[in-house]
Amino acid sequence: MFAYYLDLALRSLKRNKVLTALMVTAIAVGIGASMTTLTVMHLLSGDPLPGKSSRLFYAQVDASPDAKGREPYDVLDYRSAMDLWSAQRADRQTLIANSMIKVRQTETNLPPLMLAMLSTTADFFPMFDVPFQYGGYWTADDDARHARVAVISADLNNQLFAGADSTGRILRLRDADVRIVGVLKPWRPSPQFYNVAGGRFSQGQTAGFYSRPESVFTPFTTGLEINDGHFSQFSCWGMPATPGHLQDAPCVWIRLWVQLDSAAKVADYRRFLVDYAAQQKTLGRFTTTQTRLRDLMQWLDFNGVVPRDVRLQTWLAFAFLAICLFNTVGLLLAKFMRRSGEIGVRRALGASRGAVFSQYLVEAGLIGLLGGVGGLLLTVTGLWLIRRQPVEYADLVHLDGTMFLVTFALAIAASLLAGVLPALRASRLAPGLQLKTQ
Amino acid sequence: MSLHPILAALRRHRLATMLIALEIALACAVLCNACFLIVSRLQLTQVRSGVDEASLAELTLTGYEAANAAELNARVIDGLRRIPDMQSVSVINAVPFGEHAGTAGISLDQAGQRRVGAVHFYVGGPGSFEALGLQLVAGSAPQASDYQPVLNFVPANATVLVTRTLAEHMWPGVDPLGKEFWCGELHFRVGGVVAHFARPRGGPGGSNTIEWSVFVPGQPGPQLAGVYLLRAPPAHLPRVLRDARAAIAKIAPDAVVDNQGSQTLSDLRENYFRQDRVMAGMLAGVIAALLLVTALGIVGLASFWVQQRRRQIGVRRALGATRGDILRYFQTENFLIVSGGIAVGMALAFALNLVLMQHYELPRLPLYYLPIGALVLWGLGQLAVLGPALRAAAVPPVVATRSV
């Protein structure tokens, strides 16, 4: 029966090519627009560490004197960060500080580069499942000894060492020589979640959260030592005595991530943070006992990482799809009603209402399938256009298997939805009346 | 012409009429809001920086040590001045549309109780004020003695220039000259007022506080180094900037030129607003596609109705109706449907605007967008129905005598 309906549908579509083309185009354009924006949304709002993100937490306390009655600062001051980290109360914990550093390869005469350096502790790599191409990460002992070691990104390895195994080679960071102990595989988390902070002050212009990870990673203590004077603050409540040297400054600039493997440990850590803040308040260093411990996805959510324009585009695309659907419903209705005579004959010859209904729904579904193919082409074109835009996430944009299937599902669902009403009306026609008017 | 027969016919086609009206309502809501978004985006890009953008370029060096900064400044200024057509080279901490360098909260009293908000401090060395080409509206330009050593990011006690907007915000209706303000321990006295001076990036408060800038004269040194303001005739500026970048390799081989921060101000402005222009272009594309789809929907439905009513049209024509009568019938019918859609659409447009206001800090939709949207849709409807209506008018009266 289905094959017969399909044949009927094809014949009907061929009969009025202009109307068919109109409907297919409307669906294709609607699907193309909404799938392009939905794919970007999907890529930008996804979980950067699926399966693990619920065990990673971002800790916040606030040492500033004006902390009362507002959200705690997004990042930590040096002392609080060191206290919380050295307590080692979580399964894993890592500190993060960012700076720009001058990088030279001593063996060649390449001009120096200014690159982003992440100073962090050894736990960073296993916590965030960072993949290695050569070598590995440094040890906790290296952190303690301020060891002159570094891990570099695949991009930098390609640039300086033509992609060869560069472990054991020396890199000059500012004035210090460090030994490369590991080279990352190409690693492109979306967003660059471990650095996300301050999203609520960015007025929705958060594309920067999707930039590439740093080129150089050094132990936290080493980084602070070799790039002293070049750290910039997230915020300050007083002037740092020496600009760029923030260890004793009234400034916040360090991020603390912890891994907590069970609900009990999360509760324990929460209590630990509250106790720490209370103790610091008694000591007179804090004015508030406010603390926060959000898991990775909550933290991304709090920062509103998906750029405002991307969200706006998605809404717009779906409003557009809705208009295209109304359009299709109207046209299908017109098309089906025009065949009232035909329907009357079929009904008079014994076809049930259900049979007429399914026949017309098959026709609507076929239009959806054709629209889906067109929509897919338009989606691919749309994504290609976005990849050419000068935005940080441009290179992330691609159509994955899920979104490929979603495109067809959406197209067929949309046109079936559009087809239900006209098909229902068609199946409800009184056969006698239609035959009489002939 | 009486409306009664048209309304009676529409009542027979309630569903199709409602669908097309709803489509128009949605189109009206999206059209009004999308147009409003386009206009507000384009308005953003019209910001006046207050400086001679066409003649200015920024050159940023990194990778030098603070200890060598004073000597680097001297070498760079001396070296770059030799470039042909270079009008001036001065040290500055930031330029409009570039990276911000010193955003800090200020207050009207030393205790920090009467807060004003976060402003951007432009710190510029000798010659930078003149190079920027800021328009002085009161007071005087910085004197040679005003350029003091920069301690942390500004001098401890400085005579500064503020923008008219900021002065009006801090001391409404009062002459700002000689007034004082503080940023922690740092003390400032207003020595002059400039007409416009945009902060590098929109700070807290977005476009409303875009002109909250303070110009602080400062002596180049360890805390004021690395960013250089180049001025040259607009026609020569790109070449001068290229020459300057090439010259740095010789003047300061140890420093690294920052590509982002080494562009002409026109390029910086272009990049700064690119996203807004892309968004405006996209919205315009959506509007065009929207109008097209809506028009096609009207054409499709109207064609169907014309075909369905061929006999009735024939009968009317046979009974004496002119072609004009038939044409007007379909035009009036379309006008009624579109009007119904617009009535619902205006309410929808307002609702959509409320949602956008909540999520996108958008102002309220000005009311005049609604009649403009309505006019556009009426026009679109009439245009779309014209083809089918003309075809209807061409139906000969003889059709009435034929059976199907």
| B20: closest CA of chain A, how far (Å) | 7
One-letter amino acid at A251 equals C
pLDDT confidence tier of residue B84, bands split at 50, 70 and 90: very high
Shared domain check, B283 and B253: no
Paired tokens of A248: 């004793």
Query: Can you tell me the distance from the alpha carbon of A52 to that of A127, in angstroms, rounded to the nearest whole number?
Result: 9
Residue of B256, B262, B291, B337 to mutate, interface with A, max A Cβ within 10 Å: B256
- The chain B residue lying nearest A101, using CA atoms, is B63
One-letter amino acid at B320 equals G
Which of B62, B254, B303 is facing A100, going by the closest CB pair?
B62
Which of B15, B204, B352 is facing A333, going by the closest CB pair?
B15
Q: Measuring CA to CA, how many Å separate A122 from each of A94, A146, A199, B153, B334? A: 7, 12, 27, 35, 71
* Model confidence pLDDT, tens digit, residues B163-199: 999 999 999 999 999 999 998 888 999 999 999 999 9
Total domains in the fold of chain B: 2
Which residues of A fall within a CB distance of 8 Å from B296? 22, 25-26, 327
Shared domain check, B259 and B289: no
Task: From B249, B272, B295, give the residue that closes a domain.
Answer: B272
* Model confidence pLDDT, tens digit, residues A105-156: 888 777 888 999 999 999 999 999 999 999 999 999 999 999 999 999 999 9
Share of chain B above pLDDT 90, in %: 53
| B204 pLDDT more than 60 | no
CB contact under 8 A, A309 and B204: no
Paired tokens of B96: 């409009």
Region of residue B235 (phi > 0: left; psi between -120 and 50: alpha; otherwise: beta): alpha
What is the domain range of residue B138? Answer: 53-272
Cα–Cα nearest to A368, from A409, A308, A312: A409
Which residues of B fall within a CB distance of 8 Å from A311? 359
3-state SS, residue B61: strand
Peptide bond into A191 cis (omega under 30): yes
The stretches of B273-363 forming alpha helices (DSSP H) are 274-308, 310-318, 323-360
Which residues of B fall within a CB distance of 8 Å from A113? 256
Domain spans, chain A? 2-48+307-437, 54-302
| B135: closest CA of chain A, how far (Å) | 30
Query: Can you tell me the distance from the alpha carbon of B273 to that of A90, in angstroms, rounded to the nearest whole number?
Result: 44
- The torsion defined by the Cα of A7, A13, A15 and A21, in degrees rounded to 10, comes to -160
| A91: closest CA of chain B, how far (Å) | 38
Share of chain A above pLDDT 90, in %: 50
One-letter amino acid at B388 equals P
Which residues of A fall within a CB distance of 8 Å from B223? 243
| B308 pLDDT more than 90 | no
Which of A29, A100, A337 is facing B293, going by the closest CB pair?
A29
Q: DSSP E strands: which ranges in A296-417? A: none
Paired tokens of A5: 């309906």
* Model confidence pLDDT, tens digit, residues B62-74: 988 888 888 999 9
User: What's the mean per-residue pLDDT of chain B?
Assistant: 89
- The chain B residue lying nearest A310, using CA atoms, is B279
User: What's the mean per-residue pLDDT of chain A?
Assistant: 89
Which of A100, A111, A324 is facing B293, going by the closest CB pair?
A324
* Model confidence pLDDT, tens digit, residues A200-248: 888 778 888 999 999 999 999 999 999 998 998 898 888 888 888 999 9
Shared domain check, B84 and B31: no
Paired tokens of A409: 């599902």
Shared domain check, B279 and B267: no
Task: From B219, B251, B272, give the residue that closes a domain.
Answer: B272
Check residue B46 and give its pLDDT.
85
Task: From B272, B296, B315, give the residue that closes a domain.
Answer: B272
Which of B22, B26, B305 is facing A319, going by the closest CB pair?
B26
Check residue B171 and give its pLDDT.
93
Shared domain check, B319 and B267: no
- The chain B residue lying nearest A37, using CA atoms, is B282
Q: How many residues does chain B have?
A: 404
CB contact under 8 A, A26 and B293: yes
ipTM beyond cut 0.90: no
CB contact under 8 A, A201 and B204: yes
CB contact under 8 A, A334 and B301: yes
Check residue A202 and give its pLDDT.
80
Residue of A316, A332, A338, A381 to mutate, interface with B, max B Cβ within 10 Å: A316
Cα–Cα nearest to A60, from A294, A370, A396, A322: A294
pLDDT confidence tier of residue A33, bands split at 50, 70 and 90: confident
- The chain A residue lying nearest B18, using CA atoms, is A330
- The chain A residue lying nearest B255, using CA atoms, is A112
Which residues of B fall within a CB distance of 8 Å from A30? 293
Q: Which residue has the tokens 């942390």?
A: B152
Residue of A173, A312, A335 to mutate, interface with B, max B Cβ within 10 Å: A312
Question: How many C-beta atoms surround the C-beta of residue A352 within 10 A?
Answer: 11
Largest CA distance in chain B: 103
Shared domain check, B98 and B24: no
CB contact under 8 A, A326 and B66: no
- The chain B residue lying nearest A241, using CA atoms, is B152
3-state helix, strand, coil in chain A (%, to 5): 50, 15, 30
Shared domain check, B279 and B247: no
Shared domain check, B158 and B35: no
Residue of B293, B307, B362 to mutate, interface with A, max A Cβ within 10 Å: B293
Region of residue B117 (phi > 0: left; psi between -120 and 50: alpha; otherwise: beta): left
Q: What angle do CA B149, B230, B200 make, to 5 degrees?
A: 70
A244 DSSP assignment: T
Which of A239, A334, A421 is facing B184, going by the closest CB pair?
A239
Q: What angle do CA B105, B106, B110 make, to 5 degrees?
A: 130
* Model confidence pLDDT, tens digit, residues A347-393: 888 888 888 899 888 988 888 888 889 999 999 999 998 898 888 88
Q: Which residue has the tokens 């400034």?
A: A251
Shared domain check, B330 and B191: no
CB contact under 8 A, A334 and B22: no
Which of B23, B62, B185 is facing A323, going by the closest CB pair?
B23
Q: Which residue has the tokens 């990775």?
A: A296
Paired tokens of A297: 């996805």
Query: Can you tell me the distance from the alpha carbon of A103 to that of A101, in angstroms, rounded to the nearest whole number?
Result: 6
Which of B15, B26, B360 is facing A322, going by the closest CB pair?
B26
Check residue B205 and give its pLDDT.
57
Which of A309, A319, A425 is facing B15, going by the closest CB pair?
A425
Which residues of B fall within a CB distance of 8 Å from A112? 63, 254, 256
- The torsion defined by the Cα of A39, A41, A42 and A48, in degrees rounded to 10, comes to 140
Check residue A437 and give its pLDDT.
56
Query: Can you tell me the distance from the alpha carbon of A324 to that of A411, in angstroms, rounded to the nearest whole number?
Result: 11
pTM over 0.90: no
Share of chain A above pLDDT 70, in %: 99
One-letter amino acid at B94 equals A
Question: How many C-beta atoms surround the C-beta of residue B299 within 10 A?
Answer: 20
Check residue B356 and give its pLDDT.
84
Query: Can you tell me the distance from the alpha carbon of B109 to that of B172, in angstroms, rounded to the nearest whole number?
Result: 16
Shared domain check, B137 and B193: yes
Which residues of B fall within a CB distance of 8 Å from A26? 293, 296-297
| B206 pLDDT more than 80 | no
* Mean pLDDT on A147-167: 94
Q: Round to the nearest angstrom and report the end-to-end CA distance of chain A.
A: 27
Paired tokens of A188: 């492109």
Shared domain check, B263 and B282: no
pLDDT confidence tier of residue A418, bands split at 50, 70 and 90: confident
| B279: closest CA of chain A, how far (Å) | 8
Pairing of strands B213-219, B148-149: parallel
Check residue A436 and give its pLDDT.
64
Shared domain check, B390 and B242: no
Which residues of B fall within a CB distance of 8 Å from A308? 359-360
| A335 pLDDT more than 90 | no
Do A393 and A48 form a contact (C-beta atoms < 8 A)? no
Cα–Cα nearest to B166, from B269, B53, B50, B273: B50
Instruction: Give A185 or A418, the one with higher predicted confidence.
Output: A185
